[in-house]
Each structure stands twice: as C-alpha cells, then as structure tokens.
Amino acid sequence: MPIYEYQAKSEDASCDFCRAGFERLQKLADAAVLACPQCSHPVRRVISAPNVQSSSTDALKPKNVEKHGFTQYRKVGKGKYEKTAGKGPKKISA
C-alpha cells in the first residue's frame, strides 16, 4: 500500500497540521482524502518522490540475512540448494 502525502489547498483558514502536510497509508483503490482530518479544510494530494531501494544495498548479503534470523540458500543443481547463511539445514533438495 502506498503512502500518500496531502497538503492544504490554500493557507487561509487551514490549521498547522494540513499546512505542514500529512501522510496517509491507503490502498490504490481508496478515494483520495478531500478534507483535513483536524480542521476539515480542503486538501490536495502532493506528488512526491518514491522510495526506491537500489540493488547495491547490503540487504541480501549473507551476513545481513543471518543477522536478522533468516536462512539463505543458493541453487547448486536441479532441485538442490546449499546454505549460504543462517541456522537451517546445510542442504535441501526437492
């Protein structure tokens, strides 16, 4: 579910909350918020930069996987996998 940002359409008669902007976690199918939840002043959805994680992160490195309590395997043959990190069995096969 994406996080949408909202801000007051105009600064007159709006509260500090909607003037500064606020976020809402909403489904794509949910209707846009039309009014501030605190002062009922009209708000608009603000376009913001998406949070994109690059592939150069350390998220899938064996040390990081093991640190977070997961087990990681790599494929070594058809239906055969070998452990690269974690506490699971050394090998698994189909």
Long-range contacts of 31-39 (CB under 8 A, 24+ apart): 32/4, 33/4, 33/6, 36/6, 36/8, 39/13, 39/14, 39/15
Verdict on whether the full-model pTM lies above 0.85 = no
pLDDT, tens digit (0-9, with 9 covering 90-100), for 32-91: 999 999 999 999 999 887 777 666 567 788 888 888 889 999 999 999 999 999 888 988
**Residue closest to 4 by CA, chosen among 45, 51, 36:** 45
CB-based contact 20:5 (threshold 8 Å): no
pLDDT score recorded for residue 35:
94
